[in-house]
Amino acid sequence: MSITVIFGSDGGATKGVASKISKKCQGRSVDIKDATTDDFENCHLLILGSPTYGDGTLQTDWEENIDKLRSANLKGKKVALFGTGDQQTYPLSFVDAMGILYDEVSALGAQVIGFTETSGYDYLGSTAARDGKFVGLALDQDTQSGKTEKRVTAWLSKLL
């Protein structure tokens, strides 16, 4: 199964998670700045990741390149999402970028997989929480980095 992980990252935390995910599933990792429509379309499983900025926005490279995603044919494609955020500093917008990407790919007809439990996190609000679950894998590299490896492994075992 071919897997493509497309991410945006400034500080490197999300890039590091994308690299970890792609290595564990023998996929390839592509920065959104370098991504093409083919990167979104030509894989069995598409994994998208973004950090959340400030009060709940997409990472800058994602915002500047969102049309690449919007122009891709994702109808029926399996898409999984991961987001990085800081639940203590931004408890009202924890991993909101993942919720934004969820809305984008859902509007394109993608089949989103890989929802995860919200328990084990300490936040007040998130657009990525829907019907009691996160729409993908939520990671806090600032306050819970010690749990990342276990969470990524468990998530990938469900996806694959």
- Structural domain for 63, as ranges: 3-159
Tokens linked to 24:
């564990």
Q: DSSP string spanning 114-131?
A: --EE-TT---S--TTEET
Question: Could you give the residue ranges of the DSSP H alpha helices within the chain?
Answer: 13-24, 37-41, 60-70, 96-107, 148-159
Is 0.95 topped by the overall pTM?
Answer: yes
The span from the CA of 49 to the CA of 27, in Å, is 14
Gyration radius from the chain CA atoms? 14
Residue 70 is predicted with a pLDDT of: 98
In one letter, which amino acid is 17?
V
Residue 55 is predicted with a pLDDT of: 87
The span from the CA of 95 to the CA of 16, in Å, is 16
Residue 68 is predicted with a pLDDT of: 98
Number of domains in the chain: 1
For 38-69, the pLDDT digits (tens) are: 999 999 999 999 999 988 999 999 999 999 99
CATH of the domain at 139: 3.40.50.360
For 92-151, the pLDDT digits (tens) are: 999 999 999 999 999 999 999 999 999 999 999 999 999 999 999 999 999 999 999 999
Which residues are CB-contacts of 97 (< 8 A; sequence separation ≥ 6)? 50, 51, 52, 53, 56, 57, 58, 59, 62, 83, 85, 128
Residue 145 is predicted with a pLDDT of: 94
